[in-house]
Amino acid sequence: MPDGARPWQLHGDRALPADPSTRAAAREIYQQTRALPIVSMHGHVEAQTIDEDLPFGNPAELLVVPDHYLVRMLVSQGASVDRLGVAPVDPASSVVPEQDPRAVWRRFCESWHLFRGTPTRYWMEHELVEVFGVAERPSAESADRIYDHLDAALRSDAFRPRALFDSFDIEILASTDPAWSPLTHHANLAAAGWGERVVPTFRPDPLLHLDRPGWCSDVDLLSAAAGLDVTSYPTYLEALRERRAAFVAAGARATDHGHLLADTTPLSDAEAHRIFDLALSGVAPSPAEAQAFSGHMLFQMAAMSAEDGLVMQLHPGVLRDHDRSVLATFGADKGYDIPVQAEYTRSLRPLLEAFGHHPGFRLVVFTIDETVYSRELAPLAGVYPAMRLGAPWWFLDSPDGMRRFRETSTETAGFYNTTGFVDDTRAFCSIPARHDLSRRVDAGYLARLVVEHRLDLDEATETAVDLAYTLPKAAYARRG
Amino acid sequence: MPDGARPWQLHGDRALPADPSTRAAAREIYQQTRALPIVSMHGHVEAQTIDEDLPFGNPAELLVVPDHYLVRMLVSQGASVDRLGVAPVDPASSVVPEQDPRAVWRRFCESWHLFRGTPTRYWMEHELVEVFGVAERPSAESADRIYDHLDAALRSDAFRPRALFDSFDIEILASTDPAWSPLTHHANLAAAGWGERVVPTFRPDPLLHLDRPGWCSDVDLLSAAAGLDVTSYPTYLEALRERRAAFVAAGARATDHGHLLADTTPLSDAEAHRIFDLALSGVAPSPAEAQAFSGHMLFQMAAMSAEDGLVMQLHPGVLRDHDRSVLATFGADKGYDIPVQAEYTRSLRPLLEAFGHHPGFRLVVFTIDETVYSRELAPLAGVYPAMRLGAPWWFLDSPDGMRRFRETSTETAGFYNTTGFVDDTRAFCSIPARHDLSRRVDAGYLARLVVEHRLDLDEATETAVDLAYTLPKAAYARRG
Amino acid sequence: MPDGARPWQLHGDRALPADPSTRAAAREIYQQTRALPIVSMHGHVEAQTIDEDLPFGNPAELLVVPDHYLVRMLVSQGASVDRLGVAPVDPASSVVPEQDPRAVWRRFCESWHLFRGTPTRYWMEHELVEVFGVAERPSAESADRIYDHLDAALRSDAFRPRALFDSFDIEILASTDPAWSPLTHHANLAAAGWGERVVPTFRPDPLLHLDRPGWCSDVDLLSAAAGLDVTSYPTYLEALRERRAAFVAAGARATDHGHLLADTTPLSDAEAHRIFDLALSGVAPSPAEAQAFSGHMLFQMAAMSAEDGLVMQLHPGVLRDHDRSVLATFGADKGYDIPVQAEYTRSLRPLLEAFGHHPGFRLVVFTIDETVYSRELAPLAGVYPAMRLGAPWWFLDSPDGMRRFRETSTETAGFYNTTGFVDDTRAFCSIPARHDLSRRVDAGYLARLVVEHRLDLDEATETAVDLAYTLPKAAYARRG
């Protein structure tokens, strides 16, 4: 830090509303939630990370390269993906990524202004100051000093995964795992007494999309994991059911489904057989057939959830890998997934008519098209007992995005038909920042209701605690 | 009320903006509108209720069972519809609804927290405190005491329909009536000198949807009411015209149309004949034919409005009875009507090109898909002289919903292309609460314009009075 | 002005946020941008106006008749288009427009209340008070006095186009010109030393829509201007390329494209040939063919931009001339253009996959469907380096519209993937008002971030200057 500069500090009132009386009420509400344990029921941190408990890598590797929010912003202003240290999928590729993590870190620091007004700015500030004790703003000038500071921290035991898990006060963390996962790391964690703290989530997406390249070999993985030969539609369902049971035994609370559409129309049994057999024989089904089959399988997953009590999570409406040449060179999840319009009212009707009142079934729906909050999702969650509305997802997991979510869903669905906060990140060190921001924004929204005399302060405080802690636990309790 | 507890009181500033200077301006504006008479130009209170003037039933029967906002919220958290006292449509059904109104009332009171942040909370507070003088918050503990208080009130003459009508200061109330209604209660009311205070609204929906079960028998009702045999498309139009004339004679100001789509494309005469004759012969038209015919009939209704001066109201974009087994058991209007995306620009074009500049025609359009305010409805209402934009409807008739309506429509349509407040409720006792809330929210929006120096205070006050009183009367004055 | 009345003055804080601490920060930020020169990179003021520098006409002719915002609002409340002085396209028409400009002006003044809450109100106040020194509010009573005041001003040299251009402190103004424009006025301006101050924009719309009436004769204009015979698809492309080169030589920075859809799917060469030849032979292509060809041509325009460095602007999603009888009588641009839903994620994919990372290509996208900001446009602009998100357009160029734009785009795209302010007006005297309003609204948004401790004040001020001045210049710098 340059001599004489004031150390970088985060203001205690950040992300609370500007109006003084509303801020005072928000502060009072936030005081009741800020120190609550973290319930993280949907994330992409690997169980392996917690199980092996190895030191994280260097600052660039930990904080820049794998974070698609960061990568996409730097790319949008002219940095090429490989200059940010992202490696091509094909090791024989002529693209040689930046090898020097310090150079990658510098690129990020000198572009700090690009993140103004974005949640990445908020999360990174929180991580740098609160988690790592950095005392100056990122810039071209400060980049190397911050790098050294972080690098030293990452070599200490206090910054290994389990130590951070404890210091973050994470009560429970759900990982996301392919249907064929052997769940070895979860087993190790259970043996180490961490079985209640890290639980798996069943994610069968690749198996439900018959037209994905590699589907046939993924089915082989399913067969191997389930210990039975998938040779037909019935054995396919049986293998999925078997794997769900293995996840339940390993402590899973939920399944997760990322589809382009929210369609849940079941096919006739004969049609499902026909399309499945076609695909298994190696003949690619038509796009329409593949899409119909994936909607059909959402219905089947709901039926299985009503039996085994796994909470069903649905994340539709994203066109993955918008630029297919970036996908071919660097692989998925590089920041090129773009939302499209989503429809829920008609799409969820078959599923909700069949299971929407089933006491053993719970459906948590997310959206990245926020126009559906007031039009479709709040009205649906506000009547079907099986349904809950998940937290603002992805691009909407931001201060104004979260505020708009409350403003457009609460009046119809209330607070108690939402799940409370769900973070959904692969950036382990950002988990406390994300929960903290959510608690601040909810405190601000509730404070406005108080100051506008639409809610009493005792009610607002109770609701804030429920949103931060009680509701996520309740929403993701296995049913039945 | 428990000893020593502070009586439950509503704050005079409720639903006004938090910022002190904006609140001060809002208070000043609201003072000019709070005591204005109520103009209620679109509702679902029955003329029969006012005509017969019988005491209302018990508290559950009056305030819970028929209110689909309340029922749906309690159902969404696990109460079954029948436990809330809702009776099955088939008296021979094995479903036996809760018989004890006190038990239903308790269920509502113990679930008071579910309504936090919803307009139901605001309306019920207003009804309980302002209309009925209840002095404590609903809870499991207070439920019986509040029940007794309400029950006693409902037995007194001051709480009979006409007495409330007077004490609510309702200047005019429009009921909604089927096309074949004999309008007997309106005739009685007119004979009793209430003809200007309670007027009918012509609602022909069931007759315009050829594929509705029961359409043929509804046509028989139309024939009987019109005093002519509907045996063909021309006699069908004639009967509708005759009934409209009877409504006009009974003081009607408007028609009302609830369609899935806003489509208004006319068919050729030959095609309209063909589809109608098919349906009348007992052959179900295809869904596409039925939909095309209903769009065609909206165009015909507009043509008739241009002749007879009835204001045409359009309420599209709702998928009715999302759960068909609930419909089969308990009937319609149980909280399972869910919005879908609505399109207006292309859909209204045929109607607006034909009648949008007609001096005898007025179209009032509502939406439950709020994304269309800034994109389609405000631009259309901001140029076609025949069109007005109705008030926020249904799920959007809420503090933040009404605020967003003004924020997204005013800049393009101004205030004077909207109708001012229209309440649309079947809960008689909630009418003052709804108008009061609307006046507060409009005062808050106008106050912000004043404090931001976008409007002078005298202009804001004049506009507030127009929105609360002048505009609804003007928008629903019969034309021609 | 009536004796004793206080002169009409505009408050220095207008359009700044109500909350006092936010307003104080906003004032500080706005002080840094209010006096910056105007960069007006997309407009509809004619180069001829600046070149010839003739006095403007009377007040009605300057401020009412050509302003479709004004005309549409007056029409929506019952004024007929011709009573506002708009002439029919056919001089032989029986419609005789109002001949007295004073009568037109009176109609506007007595309808002043209709503009409450609209940006027209804000712009007109600014024009009347700041530009023309009017000292009283428009009303029926003041109309004639204001008319006289304006009329006298317009006869003075200080109100001729170049004098206003200087006093408005416009650094650069881009006009919009048909592809076949001889660019004579731009040449004159260049000769007069104004070549850097007024630049043309290449707008080929009519040539890209094969089904427009008059397309064949427009192609003749293209042939003549390009100095080559367009007899085939290749010569058509060649002529377009030639004209683009002429625009580049005349100082153009950009092209502009107003399409119904944002589709950019290229056709095969053979298919493009086939459809083009069909049209050129005088046979109308089907609507589907014409639409496919126009999408194909957007792709071709992008390819040419990647070669010649002209920034490509896209303005989709408007259904032009909603009422075709108004179009037939009075022509286009009379306020009857109505937005429709727009789709970008899938539509722009072909173009962005091909050119989205091209260093010589820049795409600026506008929308009039604001639901796409958070769902599609911010995610796209937040990753593709070639893409920038334009300013709020048309009906959205309003205080709340601009605020919502920042609230729904910044968290995903940041500030630096937007172009800063772009005014898009044909009302020359409103240019300063529009830039001023934008600077105030951006100051207000940035101030909120500061007061909520999401941004430091130095960062906010730097960003405000960038949005007002630096970014528009950078976004519209010719590439390559």
For A460-474, write each residue's pLDDT tens digit: 999 999 999 999 999
List the single residue in B114, B323, B404 with the smallest CB-CB distance to A353: B323
Residues of C in contact with B371 (CB under 8 A): 371
Cα–Cα distance list, C479 to A273, A362, B242, C175, C307 (Å) = 55, 53, 69, 19, 9
Rounded Cα distance between C95 and C329, Å, is 8
Q: How many CB pairs under 8 A join B and C?
A: 129
Q: What is the DSSP letter of B266?
A: P
All chains having 3 or more CB pairs closer than 8 angstroms to chain C: A, B
With pLDDT > 70 as the criterion, what percentage of chain C qualifies?
99
Strands C363-365 vs C387-389: parallel, antiparallel or unpaired = parallel
Mean pLDDT of chain B: 96
In tens, the pLDDT along B391-421 reads 999 999 999 999 999 999 999 999 999 999 9
Average pLDDT of the segment spanning C181-195 = 98
Please report the pLDDT score of residue A2 as a whole number: 44
Given a cut of 50, is residue C13 above it in pLDDT?
yes
Check A15 against C451: CB less than 8 A apart. no
Q: Which CATH superfamily is domain A55-159 in?
A: uronate isomerase, domain 2, chain A (1.10.2020.10)
Task: Show the beta-strand stretches assigned E in A31-134.
Answer: 38-40
Per-residue pLDDT of chain A (480 residues; tens, 9 = 90+): 344 456 788 999 999 999 999 999 999 999 999 999 999 999 999 999 999 999 999 999 999 999 999 999 999 999 999 999 999 999 999 999 999 999 999 999 999 999 999 999 999 999 999 999 999 999 999 999 999 999 999 999 999 999 999 999 999 999 999 999 999 999 999 999 999 999 999 999 999 999 998 999 999 999 999 999 999 999 999 999 999 999 999 999 999 999 999 999 999 999 999 999 999 999 999 999 999 999 999 999 999 999 999 999 999 999 999 999 999 999 999 999 999 999 999 999 999 999 999 999 999 999 999 999 999 999 999 999 999 999 999 999 999 999 999 999 999 999 999 999 999 999 999 999 999 999 999 999 999 999 999 999 999 999 999 999 999 999 999 887
Rounded Cα distance between C463 and A116, Å, is 9
Rounded Cα distance between A438 and A119, Å, is 11
Classify domain B57-159 at the CATH topology level: uronate isomerase, domain 2, chain A (1.10.2020)
Whether the Cβ atoms of residue A43 and residue A431 lie closer than 8 Å to each other: yes
Check A78 against C385: CB less than 8 A apart. yes
Given a cut of 50, is residue C1 above it in pLDDT?
no
Rounded Cα distance between C375 and C341, Å, is 13
Distance of CA C120 to the CA centre of its chain: 15
Confidence tier at B2 by pLDDT (50, 70, 90): very low
Check C453 against A118: CB less than 8 A apart. no
Residues of B in contact with C72 (CB under 8 A): 382-383
Average pLDDT of the segment spanning B424-447 = 97
Tokens (6 digits) for C110? 């007595």
Residues of A in contact with B73 (CB under 8 A): 382, 414
Please report the pLDDT score of residue B341 as a whole number: 97
- Other C-beta atoms within 10 Å of C213: how many? 9
Please report the pLDDT score of residue B213 as a whole number: 87
**Region of residue C85 (left: phi > 0; alpha: psi -120 to 50; beta: else):** left
Rounded Cα distance between A467 and A442, Å, is 8
Average pLDDT of the segment spanning B304-332 = 97
List the single residue in A73, A340, A398 with the smallest CB-CB distance to C345: A340
Residues of B in contact with A382 (CB under 8 A): 72-73, 76, 335
Given a cut of 50, is residue C3 above it in pLDDT?
no
The residue of chain C nearest to residue B359, with distances taken between CA atoms, is: C78
**How would you list the strands of the sheet with B170-174, edge to edge?**
B38-40, B170-174, B198-199
Q: Which of C415, C277, C271, C263 is nearest to C349 (CA)?
A: C263
The residue of chain A nearest to residue B444, with distances taken between CA atoms, is: A452
In tens, the pLDDT along C132-165 reads 999 999 999 999 999 999 999 999 999 999 999 9
Given a cut of 90, is residue C451 above it in pLDDT?
yes
Rounded Cα distance between A114 and A116, Å, is 6
Helices (H) and strands (E) in chain C, counts: 22, 11
List the single residue in B343, B374, B448 with the smallest CB-CB distance to C370: B374
The residue of chain C nearest to residue B448, with distances taken between CA atoms, is: C18
Please report the pLDDT score of residue B198 as a whole number: 98
Closest-CA distance of chain A to residue C202, Å: 26
Distance of CA B217 to the CA centre of its chain: 26
In tens, the pLDDT along C307-338 reads 999 999 999 999 999 999 999 999 999 999 99
Rounded Cα distance between C39 and C31, Å, is 18
Q: How many CB pairs under 8 A join A and C?
A: 127
Q: Tell which of B375, B409, B461 to mutate to test the C interface (max C CBs under 10 Å).
A: B375
Q: Which of C138, C120, C129 is nearest to C12 (CA)?
A: C129
- What angle is formed at CA B381 by the lines to CA B379 and CA B383, rounded to 5 degrees? 75
Residues of A in contact with C453 (CB under 8 A): 10-11, 13-15
Residues of C in contact with A401 (CB under 8 A): 374, 411
Please report the pLDDT score of residue C5 as a whole number: 55
Q: Is the dihedral of CA B245, B250, B255, B257 positive or negative?
A: negative
Check A117 against C449: CB less than 8 A apart. yes
Q: Which of C132, C134, C253 is nearest to C186 (CA)?
A: C253
What does CATH list as the number for C56-159?
A: 1.10.2020.10
Q: Which of B310, B316, B304 is nearest to B258 (CA)?
A: B316
Average pLDDT of the segment spanning B113-139 = 97
Residues of C in contact with B22 (CB under 8 A): 18
Closest-CA distance of chain B to residue A424, Å: 25
Q: Which of A180, A209, A169 is nearest to A35 (CA)?
A: A169
Per-residue HEC secondary structure of C3-63 comes to CCCCCCCCCCCCCCCCCHHHHHHHHHHHHCCCCCCEEECCCCCCHHHHHHCCCCCCHHHHH
Question: Scanning the structure block, which residue is given the tokens 């209170």?
Answer: B45
Rounded Cα distance between C480 and C471, Å, is 18
Mean pLDDT of chain C: 96
Please report the pLDDT score of residue A5 as a whole number: 54
Given a cut of 80, is residue C102 above it in pLDDT?
yes
Please report the pLDDT score of residue C19 as a whole number: 97
Q: Is the dihedral of CA A35, A41, A45, A51 positive or negative?
A: positive
Closest-CA distance of chain C to residue B89, Å: 41
CB-based burial of residue B323 (10 Å sphere; 0-12 exposed, 13-18 middle, 19+ buried)?
A: buried
The β-bridge partners of A38 are: A170
List the single residue in A72, A122, A370 with the smallest CB-CB distance to C454: A122
Residues of chain C with CATH 3.20.20.140: 20-55+161-475
Average pLDDT of the segment spanning B112-133 = 97
All chains having 3 or more CB pairs closer than 8 angstroms to chain A: B, C
Please report the pLDDT score of residue B5 as a whole number: 54
List the single residue in C75, C80, C339 with the smallest CB-CB distance to B375: C339
Closest-CA distance of chain B to residue C370, Å: 7
Q: Which of C404, C415, C389 is nearest to C441 (CA)?
A: C404
Whether the Cβ atoms of residue A451 and residue A22 lie closer than 8 Å to each other: yes
Cα–Cα distance list, B479 to B240, B308, B474, C28 (Å) = 19, 8, 10, 53
Residues of C in contact with B414 (CB under 8 A): 73, 76, 114-118
Distance of CA B446 to the CA centre of its chain: 24
CB-based burial of residue A478 (10 Å sphere; 0-12 exposed, 13-18 middle, 19+ buried)?
A: middle
Check C75 against B385: CB less than 8 A apart. yes
Closest-CA distance of chain C to residue A165, Å: 27
Given a cut of 90, is residue B444 above it in pLDDT?
yes
ipTM over 0.90: yes
Which residues lie below 8 Å from residue B191, measured CB to CB, with a gap of 6+? none
Q: Which of A268, A292, A267, A278 is nearest to A232 (CA)?
A: A278
Q: Which CATH superfamily is domain C20-55+161-475 in?
A: Metal-dependent hydrolases (3.20.20.140)
List the single residue in B11, B122, B371 with the smallest CB-CB distance to A371: B371
Q: What is the DSSP letter of A37?
A: P
Please report the pLDDT score of residue B32 as a whole number: 98
User: Amino acid letter at C353?
Assistant: E
Check A116 against C463: CB less than 8 A apart. yes
Whether the Cβ atoms of residue B267 and residue B278 lie closer than 8 Å to each other: no
Rounded Cα distance between A444 and A439, Å, is 9
Please report the pLDDT score of residue C7 as a whole number: 79
Given a cut of 80, is residue B91 above it in pLDDT?
yes
List the single residue in C19, C75, C122 with the smallest CB-CB distance to B454: C122
Closest-CA distance of chain C to residue A185, Å: 35
* B197-217 per-residue burial string, b: 16 or more CB within 10 A, e: under 16: bbbbbbbbbbbbbbeeeebee
Strands C311-314 vs C198-199: parallel, antiparallel or unpaired = unpaired
Check A414 against B116: CB less than 8 A apart. yes
Residues of chain A with CATH 1.10.2020.10: 55-159
Closest-CA distance of chain A to residue B9, Å: 11
Strands B177-178 vs B201-203: parallel, antiparallel or unpaired = parallel
Whether the Cβ atoms of residue B304 and residue B240 lie closer than 8 Å to each other: yes
List the single residue in B21, B345, B417 with the smallest CB-CB distance to C338: B345
In tens, the pLDDT along B72-85 reads 999 999 999 999 99
Please report the pLDDT score of residue C58 as a whole number: 96
Residues of chain C with CATH 1.10.2020.10: 56-159
Q: Which of B70, B62, B69 is nearest to B45 (CA)?
A: B62
